[in-house]
Amino acid sequence: MISVENLTYTIKGQTLLRAVNFSIGDGELVALLGANGAGKSTLLKLMGGEKKPSSGCIRLAKKPLDRYLPLELARRRATMGQQHHVSVDFTVAEVVMMGRYPHYAAGPKTTDHRVVDETMAICGIAAFSDRSILSLSGGEQQRVHLARVLAQVWDQPGGVLLMDEPVSAMDVQYQHQTLAILRALADRGYVVVTVLHDINLAAHYAHRLILLKNGRKLHDGTPSEVLTERNIYSVFSMDAHVMVNPRSLKTNILPLGQRLEAHEFNSFLKTTLPNHWVAGQNIS
C-alpha cells in the first residue's frame, strides 16, 4: 500500500504538483493519465523516492518513503523510467540480471537466475538473451527493461511497480501483453502504478484511473466513472465519444479528431512560402 498525502512539488519557482492526495492499496493497478507536462512523471518519481517532495508525505506500507534505505527500497519497489540508453554493450541477460542486484551480494544465486529466466520468458525476450542490447529495436529494448524491472520485485509479494510509459515503443500485441502482465501482478497483490498515454489501454486494464492536469488531481475512480466526455475534455481539451466496447464490455473512447482551419494554420505561418502552399489558397 502506498499513500500520497497533500503532496506538493516545487522546483525553480514552478509548482509541478499541488496538494495531491490519494492512496493505492495492494492489488490495485492504477493508471495515471494527463496531458504532456501535467505532472505524471514527476508524481511517479516522487512515489519512487527519486525526488523529494517540497511538502506533504508519501508512505509505503505506512512508513514514510524517506525513512527507507536505498537498498531496502530497491528490494520492494521497481521503477521503469521513460527513457533508456544503455551506454555499454551488455547482453540482454546481463541487463535483466541487473534487476536482481539489490538481492545478492557477490554473485547471483539460483533464485536470481530463475527469476531472470522467468521474466525474460514472460516478456518474450528469452530467444535473444545472449544478444547485445544495443542490437535490438526500440520496442525490444523496452521489453528487456520491462523484464529487468519485473525481475527486481518478482519474488517480493506486495512489491510496488512504478511504470512511466512502459509500452511507448512496443507494438500493439506487446502493449496488451505488458498491461496483462501488470494486471496479473496486481491481482496477485502488487501495487502497480503506470503512466499511460493510450486511454483505451488504461481503461481496459486498470482498476482505477487518476487524471492529472497542471499538477492537480482532477479525477480519480474506475474507468467507467472517470471516462466521461466532459472529463476527457477537461483534461485533454479533446472531444471524444465514450462507449462500451460491445465485445470486451470495457469503456472505450473514440476521439473525434481535430481540424486546423485555414485561418488558424495561416496565423502560424511567418515564413514566405509559395502561394499554393498556404493552406486554403489551393483548396477549392
Partner 1 sequence: MAAVAKTYLINVVILVLLVLAVMLSLSWGAMPIPIGDVAVSLLQGVGLCDDISVDELYSGVIALVRLPRAITGVLVGASLGISGAAIQAIFRNPLAEPGIIGISAGASFMAALLIAFESALFMAFTDLFGHYLLALGAFSGAGVATWLVYRISLVDGRPHISTMLLAGIAINALAGALTGLISYLADEQQLRTITFWMLGSLGSASWETVTVLLPFVVLTVASLPFLAKPLNAFALGEQEAHLLGFKPTQVKRLVILLATLAVGASVAMTGVIGFVGLLVPHGIRMLGGADNRYVLPASAMLGALTLTVADLLSRVVAPPAELPIGVVTALLGTPLFLYILIRDKKKIV
- Interface with partner 1 by CB under 8 A: which residues? 48, 50, 69-75, 78-79, 81, 84-91, 94-95, 98-99, 101-102, 130, 134-135, 152
Q: Which is nearer to partner 1, 84 or 176 (CB)?
A: 84
> Least CB distance from residue 198 to partner 1, whole Å?
24
Sequence-distant (≥ 6) Cβ neighbours of residue 140 within 8 angstroms: 125, 128
168: Cα within 13 Å, side-chain hemisphere: 14
> Least CB distance from residue 10 to partner 1, whole Å?
15
Q: Which is nearer to partner 1, 12 or 230 (CB)?
A: 12
> Least CB distance from residue 137 to partner 1, whole Å?
15
Q: What phi, psi does 32 have (nearest 5°)?
A: -95, 125
**In angstroms, what CA-CA distances link 143 with 44, 91, 96, 123, 241?**
20, 14, 10, 6, 32
> Least CB distance from residue 32 to partner 1, whole Å?
18
Give the chain's end-to-end CA distance (angstroms, integer).
60
Q: Could you give the angle at the alpha carbon of 255 between the alpha carbons of 254 and 259, nearest 5°?
A: 150
Q: Could you give the angle at the alpha carbon of 264 between the alpha carbons of 258 and 270, nearest 5°?
A: 130
Q: Which is nearer to partner 1, 113 or 241 (CB)?
A: 113
> Least CB distance from residue 210 to partner 1, whole Å?
22
Q: Which is nearer to partner 1, 16 or 73 (CB)?
A: 73
Q: What phi, psi does 37 have (nearest 5°)?
A: 75, 15
Q: Which is nearer to partner 1, 85 or 276 (CB)?
A: 85
Pairing outcome for strands 63-64 and 29-34: unpaired
